[in-house]
Amino acid sequence: MNRRQFFGLAAAAAASSSALPAAGRLRIGVTDWNLKMSSDVDAVLLAASLGFEGLEVSLGRKPVDNQLPLADPALQQRYRDAFRQHKIEIAGTCLDILHVNYLKLDPLGAKWVADGISISQRMGAQVILLPFFGRGALLGSGTAEGRAELDRVGDTLRELAPAAAKAGIVLALENTINARDNFTVIERSRSSAVKIYYDCGNLLKAGFDPMTELKAMGRDGIAQIHLKDNPSYLGQGTIDFTRLLQIVGELGWSGFANLETDAPSKDIAADMQKNLDFIRRLLARTGRG
């Protein structure tokens, strides 16, 4: 499957899958781990009280009886009740355990992805973040080893993607490689249920231009977005968020853009509120809010 064939498949899937973003406004969510409340249902209340429209939920790093912590049906129900009560959405899940069992190296990583699909479907999520960092980071196409990694991960996702597609879920790759190399993995997976988790901060740190990569990933390549400018507050670092949101609008992309921001003052609630207010002001100016 070449890139043109992939986007043709993606366009066809977009007509039938609610998991794919459609034209419209951006919704702003927040990650539970940046609230320092990973896998804690009380993070729903905090996110709602700060004015976020969604919460991205970590599925946990430490297995319980060989299962992910959020595999507990009672806990899943508590989350569903909390989202309903506080009138915000689940803005995706994160397979945080892939920081331990690296998908590119450890066969156990594939099990966690399969389990995460079932859990995320029951929780009502439409996007699962698959992280590739640390020893699990993808090397990219610059070396033979890196090219082999891209193919190997693509082959693994080819086995997992049909279950994700059936569940109405997109597997979103968050990593430190460029758009071209991400598309190598996606094309190898042969599925429109595999996309990119765009993170401007990760790309900048890896030496790429976040704006160039955003355009290259495009509307159909991006599943979800992380906004951060760590260790600064949004708008006080090196990333031009006005331009970033302008490009997102030009692409016609919409969905959840989740804040993955630090708390420079150590007051998490106040710092999250400050970053959220900054993004809201920018969205108001562009008519994307």
Residue with tokens 């006080």: 236
Q: Give the residues across from 149 on adjacent strands.
A: none
Q: Give the residues across from 259 on adjacent strands.
A: 30, 227
Residue with tokens 């260790």: 231
Q: Inform me whether the pLDDT recorded for 191 exceeds 80.
A: yes
Whole-angstrom Cα distance, residue 253 to residue 221? 10
Any idea what DSSP says for residue 64?
A: B
The model's confidence at residue 163, banded by pLDDT at 50, 70 and 90, is very high
CB 92 within 8 A of CB 53: no
The model's confidence at residue 11, banded by pLDDT at 50, 70 and 90, is very low
Q: Inform me whether the pLDDT recorded for 48 exceeds 90.
A: yes
Q: Concatenate the DSSP letters of all residues of 174-212 into one string.
A: E-SS-HHHHHHHHHHHT-TTEEEEEEHHHHHHTT--HHH
Per-residue model confidence (pLDDT) at position 199: 98
Per-residue model confidence (pLDDT) at position 244: 97
Q: pTM score > 0.85 for this model? A: yes
Q: Is 138 strand, coil or helix?
A: coil
The number of distinct structural domains making up the chain is 1
For the chain, percent of residues with pLDDT exceeding 70: 91
Q: Work out the average pLDDT over 235-251.
A: 96
Per-residue model confidence (pLDDT) at position 24: 58
Per-residue model confidence (pLDDT) at position 19: 40
What is the chain's length? 289
Higher pLDDT, 147 or 17: 147
Helices 210-221 and 179-189, axial angle in degrees (round to 10): 20
What integer best gives the mean pLDDT of the chain? 92
Q: Work out the average pLDDT over 92-116.
A: 97
The model's confidence at residue 74, banded by pLDDT at 50, 70 and 90, is very high
Per-residue model confidence (pLDDT) at position 23: 42
Model pLDDT for residues 32-47, shown as the tens digit of each residue: 999 999 999 999 999 9
Residue with tokens 């992910």: 68
Per-residue model confidence (pLDDT) at position 25: 82
Per-residue model confidence (pLDDT) at position 288: 63
Per-residue model confidence (pLDDT) at position 286: 73
Whole-angstrom Cα distance, residue 214 to residue 199? 9
Per-residue model confidence (pLDDT) at position 21: 39
The token pair at 176 is 């430190």
The model's confidence at residue 13, banded by pLDDT at 50, 70 and 90, is very low
Phi, psi of 40 (to 5 degrees): -115, 115
The model's confidence at residue 95, banded by pLDDT at 50, 70 and 90, is very high
Higher pLDDT, 36 or 2: 36
In angstroms and rounded to an integer, the radius of gyration of the C-alpha atoms of the chain is 18
CB 234 within 8 A of CB 261: yes
The CATH number for 54's domain is: 3.20.20.150
Per-residue model confidence (pLDDT) at position 2: 46
Any idea what DSSP says for residue 38?
A: T
Per-residue model confidence (pLDDT) at position 16: 32
Any idea what DSSP says for residue 264?
A: T
Whole-angstrom Cα distance, residue 173 to residue 222? 9
Residue range of the domain that includes 153: 3-15+24-286
Whole-angstrom Cα distance, residue 229 to residue 261? 7
Whole-number Cα distances in Å, 156 to 62, 97, 182, 214, 289: 23, 17, 14, 25, 37
Per-residue model confidence (pLDDT) at position 230: 82
The token pair at 286 is 């562009």
Q: Inform me whether the pLDDT recorded for 122 exceeds 80.
A: yes
